[in-house]
Amino acid sequence: MEAEFPGRQEWRDQLASMTAKQIIEDGTLELRCASGPPLPGKYRKIPSEGVCKDANGGEIAILLHADKDGFLWMLEILNTVQNP
């Protein structure tokens, strides 16, 4: 969360009380926040996305989703390699 985006500070504040549980074998996590300010209303439905390398050097996309109340609820991991 280094890049500037609307709601970044609220999400950073939520991290202090966050727990996570793996829900998919690819590493996707369900997130639960116990405190912190919610995201501003108009930004709740827009996931934040980033791209990085996995342990094998392959490219993966990371999407961070908020729930309807503006709290982090899922870190989704997607393999970006396209199969022919």
Would you list the DSSP string of 62-81?
EEEEE-TTS-EEEEEEEE-P
Summarize pLDDT for 52-68 with one digit per residue, the tens.
888 888 898 999 898 98
Give DSSP secondary structure letters for 51-65. EEE-TTS-EEEEEEE
In a domain, 28, yes or no: yes
For residue 84, name the pLDDT band (cuts at 50, 70, 90): very low
36 in a domain, yes or no?
yes
Domain region containing 56: 8-79
Asked whether residue 84 is domain-assigned, the answer is no
> Model confidence over 2-37: pLDDT tens digits?
778 778 899 899 999 999 999 998 889 999 999 999
What are 28-54's pLDDT values in tens digits?
999 999 999 998 877 677 778 888 888
Residues 6 or more apart in contact with residue 26 via CB below 8 angstroms: 77, 78, 79
The mean pLDDT of the chain is 86
Q: Number of structural domains, the chain?
A: 1
Q: Is the residue at 3 inside a domain?
A: no
